[in-house]
């Protein structure tokens, strides 16, 4: 018998008096990606929300598989993210979990006769997973592409990418990215996509990605990560900055993120936040300007730390009062050493351009005094852009703006970061932006699909 969308299943078929939903007639709406959002099914010529009490983790696996979105990461009531508008589907899905589409799941009468659009279902799927680790928060990184799971190549995998993945998987932050086949060989294909995250994205799908020009990659060069583990009872994050290591402080308690308000916030509290986030030493504690202040609920007030605590929850704190906060208490901000970043601006790709450094919450440039290939080599390696082809001066890539952060840079070429090289103190210089330094890295050739032949030094 051939059943059409909207027809009722004949009695005795096992799904009595249930309208069918054809393959593909399921969607997630209102999320931050096509693989996240409130669940809806298409029934009788309209989209209907699915009641949370009639849906479980096994059904979520089927939905994620049907949408080619990998595996289910979380399932919860949609009311947590705002109410779902429209009609509600009045049936319960009773999936085993291995079905290829919800069409093949048994259905029955709804458990909750009073279900309304305010308690629909929110599903988050993920195309990423960690395998072969001793916990769910460590392992080899695998990616699902068109229904096939494969290993992610580690050639340009870095801590910023790993931070985003750990946070997306509910595993805190990245502690390390071991290499050398630390979690064993994979068996499927090796995906050579390169993610270029700054560490603040909600998931890897929000990061810029390049898939062309990458060299062949073996299973021994698999991307891997060891995450800090599931978030504790009061996780901390920094929002509104240029990286995950600077910005306005928020804490996660009782299922929601809340602001941290204080009138005496200083470096002792900032040091604890930076330590908890593994962002290095605290460089500044500040009060955000009015335009950057939060507007959500208040999570903590009056935090008092000695400075040695491993977690902000170990400091003396007070929970927010029920009345709106008024008076001298304001949002608090932190800048940690780990917020320092480098980028190349106004070049032909991300591997060529004017050298810019993010420091103290602001982007600035580097003076070209004594700028040479050893300095450029540090920048190229730091960005995962290969070797240095040229150290450019005299604002070759245009003049920058704002602060000139470094002058008289003198690298040996082996430093891990540009700010580890000898130079004048931060912000001390006698330059103008017409002297901004630039770099051209060999990675520019990868981006454009060019091949570098052997380099030979002439004699004489």
Domains in the chain: boundaries: 26-126, 128-227, 235-338, 340-448
Sign of the dihedral through C-alpha 121, 122, 128, 134: negative
CATH 3.10.250.10: does it fit domain 26-126?
yes
CATH 3.10.250.10: does it fit domain 128-227?
yes
Residue from 366, 378, 372, 446 nearest 406 by CA: 366
Q: Note the pLDDT tens digit of each residue in 375-398.
A: 999 999 998 888 999 999 999 999
Give the pairing of strands 148-152 and 174-176.
Answer: unpaired
Q: What is the mean pLDDT of residues 91-118?
A: 77
Q: What is the mean pLDDT of residues 233-240?
A: 83
Q: Note the pLDDT tens digit of each residue in 130-182.
A: 999 988 899 999 998 888 889 998 888 888 899 889 888 888 778 888 887 78
Beta pairing partners, 440: 352, 390
128-227: same fold as 26-126? yes
Q: Note the pLDDT tens digit of each residue in 29-60.
A: 888 788 888 888 888 788 888 888 778 889 99
The whole-chain average pLDDT of the chain stands at: 80
Query: Whole-model pTM?
Result: 0.55
| CATH no., domain 235-338 | 3.10.250.10
* Helix, coil or strand: residue 20: coil
Q: What is the mean pLDDT of residues 258-266?
A: 84
How many beta carbons lie within 10 A of that of residue 32, not counting itself? 13
Rg of the chain taking only CA atoms, in angstroms? 26
pLDDT at 323 exceeding the cut of 60: no
Q: Considering only the top CATH level, what class is 340-448? A: alpha beta
d(CA 363, CA 365): 7
For Cα atoms 349, 340, 286, give the angle at the middle one, nearest 5 degrees: 130
pLDDT bucket at 432, cuts 50 / 70 / 90:
very high
């Amino acid at each position: 018998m051939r059943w059409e969308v909207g027809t009722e299943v004949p009695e005795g078929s096992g799904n009595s008096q249930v309208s069918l939903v054809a393959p593909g007639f399921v969607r997630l709406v209102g999320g931050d990606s096509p693989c996240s959002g409130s669940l809806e099914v298409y029934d009788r010529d309209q989209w209907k929300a699915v009641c949370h009490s009639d849906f479980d983790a096994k059904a979520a696996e089927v939905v994620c598989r049907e949408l080619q979105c990998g595996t289910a990461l979380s399932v919860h009531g949609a009311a947590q993210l705002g109410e779902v508008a429209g009609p509600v589907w009045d049936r319960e899905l009773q999936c085993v979990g291995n079905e290829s589409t919800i069409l093949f799941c048994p259905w029955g009468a709804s458990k909750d006769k009073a279900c309304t659009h305010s308690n629909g279902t929110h599903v988050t799927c993920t195309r990423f997973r960690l395998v072969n680790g001793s916990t769910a928060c460590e392992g080899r990184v695998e990616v699902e592409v068109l229904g096939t799971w494969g290993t992610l190549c580690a050639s340009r995998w870095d801590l910023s990418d790993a931070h985003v993945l750990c946070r997306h998987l509910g595993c805190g932050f990245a502690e390390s990215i071991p290499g050398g086949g630390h979690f064993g060989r994979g068996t499927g294909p090796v995906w050579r996509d390169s993610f270029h995250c700054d560490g603040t994205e909600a998931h890897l799908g929000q990061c810029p990605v390049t898939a062309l020009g990458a060299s062949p990659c073996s299973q021994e060069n698999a991307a891997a990560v060891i995450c800090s583990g599931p978030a504790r009872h009061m996780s901390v994050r920094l929002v509104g900055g240029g990286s995950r290591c600077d910005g306005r402080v928020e804490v996660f308690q009782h299922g929601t993120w809340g602001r941290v308000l204080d009138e005496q916030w200083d470096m002792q509290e900032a040091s604890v936040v930076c330590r908890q986030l593994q962002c290095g030493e605290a460089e500044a504690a500040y009060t955000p300007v009015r335009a950057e202040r939060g507007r959500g609920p208040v999570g903590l007030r009056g935090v008092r730390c000695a400075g040695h605590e491993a977690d902000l929850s170990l400091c003396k704190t007070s929970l927010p009062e029920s009345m709106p906060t008024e008076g001298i208490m304001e949002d608090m901000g932190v800048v940690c050493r780990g917020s320092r970043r480098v980028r190349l601006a106004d070049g032909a790709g991300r591997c060529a351009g004017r050298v810019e450094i993010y420091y103290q919450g602001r982007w600035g440039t580097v003076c070209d005094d004594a700028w040479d290939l050893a300095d450029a080599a540090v920048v190229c390696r730091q960005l995962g852009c290969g070797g240095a082809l040229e150290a450019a001066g005299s604002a070759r890539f245009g003049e920058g703006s704002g602060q000139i952060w470094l002058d008289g840079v003198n690298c040996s070429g082996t430093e891990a970061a540009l700010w580890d090289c000898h130079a004048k103190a931060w912000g001390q210089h006698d330059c103008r932006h017409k002297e901004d330094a630039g770099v051209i890295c060999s990675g520019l050739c990868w981006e454009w699909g060019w091949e570098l032949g052997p380099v030979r030094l002439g004699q004489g």
